[in-house]
Amino acid sequence: MSKDNPDLLKLALVQMAPVWLDRIKTLEKVIGFVVQATAENCRLAVFGEALVPGYPFWVERTDGARFNSAVQKNMYAWYLQQAVQIEAGDLDKLCKICAEKKIAVYLGCIERAADRGGHSLYCSLVFIDDAGKIASVHRKLMPTYEERLVWAQGDGNGLQVHKHGAFTLGGLNCWENWMPLLRTALYALGEDLHIAVWPGSERNTFDITRFIAKEARSFVISVSGLMRAADISPAIPHFEPIRQGFSGPAADGGSCLAGPDGEWIIAPVTGGEKLIVAEIDHAAVRRERQNFDPAGHYSRPDITQLTVDRRRQNLVKFIDG
């Protein structure tokens, strides 16, 4: 936010590769980019889907649907061990940096959820505000295709928005952005800066980023990661067959930013790690909402309404005493 103009927000799209399947080293790299973003006077930094500790690229390269496969069991066990446990304090250092630097962060991570027994994994989008508080954890509602072999289904608890200066932020993971009712839920909460996170590749971000911007009359950030054969460490189980399955990059970026008129502010960027900085003006949202506001004057709640269950879903309710 600018002291001279509170409508302005400077932000960073962080396109980076994880230290694949290494939570600690990847978080160190994330913190480095956050510090770099604050040096550019950014007040918001956004990272790609499943970045910590990384997207499960091994599944499609190692016969991932084979039942009772020792390879898949070994890889899952490693993934589980490297996943983020929020309750154990895995994000505490990042939260402290956010508070010190007064910057908010959206981070895609693989969450090992204690409230679901601690042995299932969720593709979660975590929002850390500029006071260093974890304000929401959105667990991806519908993993896509082979992701369902690794990730569990989330719930509606994370369908939240957050005020940040003049803007109201909300976010979704990857192909959730194609789900119209999820977008509608965020629009109804007043979202005007939409965060879409992806594992990578321009094919994911090119069409939908501008489409959501035009539909919502909002700014839309799409942030993608990177993944190349060279990013696979020999320390990872089944290193050789996974690496041999790469004929080129598995994820090549594609991070971009569209304005509320549906036009590019930053067209998709591919090819390498980058800190992409932009400044946006909330006045542009207000101008575009004049003729179309999807949750306001151009909606008909007397005819169609959406019900959203935001309760965190658990298997057991204990009654003690």
Q: Which residues are catalytic?
A: 49, 140, 174
Residue (of 175, 186, 151) closest to 54 by Cα position: 151
Closest CA to 21 of 235, 250, 271, 190: 235
Is the Cβ–Cβ distance between 26 and 19 less than 8 Å?
yes
Residue 147 gets which letter from DSSP?
Answer: G
Burial class (CB in 10 A: 0-12, 13-18, 19+), 262: middle
CB 16 within 8 A of CB 227: no
Structure tokens at 147: 């992701």
Burial classification of residue 80, based on how many CB atoms lie within 10 Å of its CB (0-12 exposed, 13-18 middle, 19 or more buried): middle
Of 61, 1, 88, 83, nearest in space to 279 by CA? 1
- For the beta carbon of residue 165, count every other beta carbon within 10 angstroms: 18
Torsions phi, psi for 152 (to 5 deg): -85, 165
Strand-pairing partners, residue 124, are 109, 139
In the three-class reduction of DSSP (H, G, I as helix; E, B as strand; rest coil), residue 31 is classed as helix
Strands (DSSP E) found in the chain: 8-15, 44-46, 104-112, 121-128, 134-139, 162-164, 167-173, 193-198, 219-224, 226-227, 251-258, 264-270, 274-281
Asked whether the beta carbons of 170 and 197 are under 8 A apart, the reply is no
